[in-house]
Amino acid sequence: MSPLELGIASVVAIVVLIYIGLYIPAALAVVSFLSIWLMRDNFELALNLLKIAISDNVMEYTFATVPLFTFMGLVASKAGLGADIYAVMNDVFKRVRGGIGMATVGANAVFAAVTGSSIASASVFTRVAVPEMLRFDYNPRFAVGVVAGSSVLGMIIPPSAMLIIYSFVAEQSVGQMFLAGIGPGLLLALAYITAIFFMGRFTPRFIGGRIGGGCMHDDQQPLSGAQIMARTTPTLALIVTVLGGIYTGWMTPVEAGAIGSIVALLIAVLRRRLTWPAFKEALLETGHITASILFLITAASIYSRMLGLADLPGVLAALLHNYQLEFLGVMLIYVVLMLFLGTLLDTASIILIVVPLFLPIIEPMGSSLVWFGIVTVIGAEIGLLTPPLGISCFVIKSSLGEDCGISLKDVFLGALPFAFVMLLVLVVLIRWPAISIGIL
pLDDT tens for 81-105 read 877 888 888 777 777 777 888 888 9
Contacts for 169 with CB less than 8 Å, ≥ 6 apart: 297, 300, 304, 351, 352, 355, 356
Rounded Cα–Cα distance for residues 10 and 290 (Å): 27
**Count of CB atoms within 10 A of residue 253's CB?**
27
Q: What is the DSSP string of 150-212?
A: HHGGGGTSSS-HHHHHHHHHTT--HHHHHHHHHHHHHHHHHHHHHHHHHHHHH-HHHHB---B
pLDDT at 281 over 60: yes
Q: Which of 7-16, 54-63, 361-370 has the lowest mean pLDDT?
A: 54-63
pLDDT of residue 125: 79
- Whether the Cβ atoms of residue 112 and residue 153 lie closer than 8 Å to each other: yes
**Count of CB atoms within 10 A of residue 134's CB?**
18
- Whether the Cβ atoms of residue 144 and residue 173 lie closer than 8 Å to each other: no
Domain ranges across the chain:
3-437
**What are 365-420's pLDDT values in tens digits?**
888 899 999 999 998 888 778 877 677 777 788 777 666 678 888 888 888 999 99
Residues 10-45 as b/e (b if ≥16 CB within 10 A, e otherwise) read bbebbbebbeeeeebbebbbbbbbebbbebeeeeee
In the chain, the N- to C-terminal Cα span, in Å, equals 46
pLDDT at 213 over 50: no
pLDDT of residue 216: 45
**What are 239-263's pLDDT values in tens digits?**
888 888 887 888 888 888 899 899 9
- Whether the Cβ atoms of residue 426 and residue 339 lie closer than 8 Å to each other: no
Contacts for 219 with CB less than 8 Å, ≥ 6 apart: none
Rounded Cα–Cα distance for residues 208 and 271 (Å): 36
Average pLDDT for the chain: 82
**What are 308-336's pLDDT values in tens digits?**
787 777 777 777 777 777 788 888 888 88
Contacts for 303 with CB less than 8 Å, ≥ 6 apart: 14, 28, 29, 32, 352, 353, 356
